[in-house]
Amino acid sequence: MARRKKNKSPRRRNTAVSITGLAEAVMLANVGTNAAFNLSAWDFVTDGWGAGSTTKATGANQLSMWEMIYGNAASKATVYLPGGSSQTVTMTPGSNAEVVMQNLQNNWLPAVIQGVAIPVGFKIGRKVLRKPISMGNKLLKVAGLRSMVRI
């Protein structure tokens, strides 16, 4: 008699967000955006959106998402001088691809070093801090937050 195929029970999946994994991802995103756009990940995403927002992408080699979508803001920047006066400076950064390529040529070595060091550091840190991390996860479980967040 042939054996029956047994149905496997569905695997339980951990859907909690890892705080350390999130921190590692943010740090790696900062490395990538600093290398390509000369801005932090937060400034790259938020710069230029909203009425009256202060722009941080004023340098010739800085590029934000808003500038990539809507153009380089007529390639003009306002430079604030001591004493409260300001002066508008016209920049000629070239195309977005040229700016990104120039930034990558200037920043590739630190980006590679940080891109390797950050995951290695987090891996070593998780091994060294395994006991406190597990105690923190137990505390989150007691608080009823373990299904949403973990360390």
Cα separation, 49 vs 35, in Å, equals: 22
Query: Hey, where are the domains in the chain?
Result: 25-47+55-150
Instruction: Please report the pLDDT score of residue 99 as a whole number.
Output: 84
Instruction: Please report the pLDDT score of residue 117 as a whole number.
Output: 97
Higher pLDDT, 2 or 129: 129
pLDDT tens for each residue of 57-108: 667 788 888 888 877 644 555 556 666 666 555 555 567 888 888 889 999 9
Cα separation, 109 vs 140, in Å, equals: 40
Helix, strand, coil in percent for the chain, rounding step 5: 55, 10, 35
Instruction: Please report the pLDDT score of residue 34 as a whole number.
Output: 92
Instruction: Please report the pLDDT score of residue 74 as a whole number.
Output: 46
Instruction: For residue 145, give the amino acid letter.
Output: L
